[in-house]
Amino acid sequence: MKLATIWVDGEPHAAAVQQQRLVPIGRPGGDLGELVRAGVTAADMAALVAGAKHHVPLDAAQFLAPVLRPGKAICVGLNYADHARESHFEPPTHPTLFLRSTTSLAAHASAVHRPSGDDSLDFEGEMVVVMGSGGRGIAAEDALGHVFGYAVGNDISVREFQFRSPQWTLGKNVDGTGPWGPWVVTADEVPAGGTGLQLQTRLNGELMQSANTRDMLFDVATIIASVSEAMTLEAGDILFTGTPAGVGLGRTPRRYMQPGDVVQVQIERIGVLRNTIAGA
């Protein structure tokens, strides 16, 4: 099942994707995150769809980030060996973790604004995990039972900000640079852990990244177990699972995004995330 958050009559509304339309479910003003936190299951949502009385054509929908304000947005760096090497790092022995603020997150089809005077805006296509239930000290063998679903993400980075210091926080948290969506595919509709899925990033139609999620150094279960060693995960939290090789930083000459560019990330069986680049 594909589930999203869209604008309906001037306010957010959770919705289910049904062929070429979106069917609003839940209460007006409530996002998908509200339903996930309430423990509403995919089966429950299917029942809500069956009882829905109106729909929005897919090509007319205005998408929001599926979970508008996740309690935590946790990202994994250097999670593909080839990307670690192109970034001049050794592949890590433990997940390299950092956080994104909610103001850095954005939606499918949103404009991503390059900071004034900057020319280092870089793409990073990734798979995103949405937690369905939380916990602390989650064992790897139990971790996938806590996953609600999977989405497409682009961990867009401002490299000049990122490498001002050893901490990456500034370059990973520019407002609106973390688009994800357009919807969440429930965990029952993809292989366990989202493994074995083709991931591709295109810039103005040119293929820039091509990899398979099976190549992640740390799989989804390991990431969840590692994070929950230290912090309590909660329903609606999201995890960006890392990007493969091919980013602009790793190219000669470097290839950064410019105003007017269109960047697209596609993950097999999940969907396509598309964003335009704009000036400051």
At residue 241, the pLDDT reads 99
CATH number for 73-278 (one of 3.40.50.1370, 3.90.850.10, 3.30.70.560, 1.10.10.60): it is 3.90.850.10
At residue 51, the pLDDT reads 85
**What distance in Å separates the CA atoms of residue 225 and residue 126, rounded to the nearest whole number?**
19
At residue 156, the pLDDT reads 99
**What distance in Å separates the CA atoms of residue 28 and residue 110, rounded to the nearest whole number?**
22
* CA dihedral angle for residue 4, residue 9, residue 12, residue 15, rounded to 10 degrees: -20
At residue 42, the pLDDT reads 85
Sequence spans of domains, the chain:
2-64, 73-278
Do 3 and 66 meet the contact criterion of CB atoms below 8 Å apart?
A: yes
Instruction: Please name the residue that has the structure tokens 């209460």.
Output: 27
**What distance in Å separates the CA atoms of residue 137 and residue 122, rounded to the nearest whole number?**
34
Task: Tell me the backbone φ, ψ of residue 112, rounded to 5 degrees.
Answer: -100, 120
Query: Along the 280 residues of the chain, how does pLDDT read in single tens digits?
Result: 999 999 999 999 999 999 899 999 999 999 999 999 999 988 899 898 988 888 999 999 999 999 999 999 999 999 999 999 999 899 999 999 999 999 999 999 999 999 999 999 999 999 999 999 999 999 999 999 999 999 999 999 999 999 999 999 999 999 999 999 999 999 999 999 999 999 999 999 999 999 999 999 999 999 999 999 999 999 999 999 999 999 999 999 999 999 999 999 999 999 999 999 999 9
Instruction: Find the largest Cα–Cα distance for the chain.
Output: 55
What pTM value is reported for the model? 0.97
